[in-house]
Chain A
Amino acid sequence: EPEVTQTPSHQVTQMGQEVILRCVPISNHLYFYWYRQILGQKVEFLVSFYNNEISEKSEIFDDQFSVERPDGSNFTLKIRSTKLEDSAMYFCASSDGRSAPLHFGNGTRLTVT
């Protein structure tokens, strides 16, 4: 069964550094998302992306965050200057239709030290 893949599975970075989290959504999907989960807490919406542009973003998704679909397969989340509070599990998701269920990747655990 096709799946969303995320790399790396775990990333450790120092505060102030830039990180790029990578995702390969399911190939025929058109809608892409990033969610995050701070350890032990609920999963929170960050951003949705459709037709090569952001369709909605949350208050968490400030100027430090950006997303890109650089080619036909990858979908990236960049954090320009990481803070300690950015430490979380970041999930990429994709769906093939407006109301189709989201399929999540296995997540990237980001640790900011």
Chain B
Amino acid sequence: AQKVTQAQTEISVVEKEDVTLDCVYETRDTTYYLFWYKQPPSGELVFLIRRNSFDEQNEISGRYSWNFQKSTSSFNFTITASQVVDSAVYFCALSEAWIQGAQKLVFGQGTRLTINP
């Protein structure tokens, strides 16, 4: 069975600090996708990134960066120079290999990030 663990339930930092959100996953599949979604206070789920299991290159997008390490089954997310607008719940998710046209995401419990001014 697939499982995603976000051990950090809540994180609170002061604006401009860097912060890393941890994500550890379990799967028996050799082909899978990993995702991060942001859920701001308004409640919607905002797609941030998708990474496939064959691509271990780290990715940077502005102040966001992702570190995918297959050896430790981790897909961590770092926000550099955090801002108040980054305050949200962040979900890591895993999708197994495509089966019969279904892409079924397994989500972690989420990490509530609060950026204080």
The count of residues in chain B whose C-beta lies closer than 8 Å to any C-beta of chain A is: 26
**A75 interface residue (CB < 8 Å to B):** no
Given the known interface contacts A56-B99, A107-B43, A107-B44, the answer about A101 and B104 at a Cβ–Cβ threshold of 8 Å is no
C-alpha gap A104/B52 in the complex (Å): 20
Is B100 in contact with A45, judged by CB distance below 8 angstroms? no
Contacts of B45 in A (CB 8 A): 43, 91, 93, 104, 107
Given the known interface contacts A89-B43, A106-B42, A106-B44, the answer about A41 and B109 at a Cβ–Cβ threshold of 8 Å is yes
Contact pattern, B 51-80, Cβ under 8 Å of A = 1, otherwise 0: 010000000000000000000000000000
**B101 interface residue (CB < 8 Å to A):** yes
B24 to chain A, nearest CB (A): 14
Contact pattern, A 95-113, Cβ under 8 Å of B = 1, otherwise 0: 1001101111111010000
Given the known interface contacts A99-B33, A101-B35, A104-B47, the answer about A31 and B103 at a Cβ–Cβ threshold of 8 Å is yes
Is A101 in contact with B101, judged by CB distance below 8 angstroms? no
Within 22-70 of A, Cβ neighbours of B (below 8 Å) are at 31, 33, 35, 41-45, 48, 50-51, 55-56, 58
Is A45 in contact with B106, judged by CB distance below 8 angstroms? yes
- Give the contacting residue for B103; candidates A43, A98, A104, A106; CB below 8 A: A98
Contacts of A103 in B (CB 8 A): 47
Contacts of A102 in B (CB 8 A): 47, 103, 105
5 nearest A-B pairs in the assembled complex, by CB-CB distance: A56-B102, A104-B45, A50-B101, A48-B102, A55-B102
* Residues of B near any A CB (own CB < 8 A): 33, 35, 37, 42-47, 50, 52, 91, 93, 98-110
What are 14 of the A-B contact pairs (CB < 8 Å)? A42-B91, A42-B107, A45-B106, A48-B102, A50-B101, A56-B99, A102-B47, A102-B105, A103-B47, A104-B44, A104-B47, A106-B43, A106-B44, A107-B43
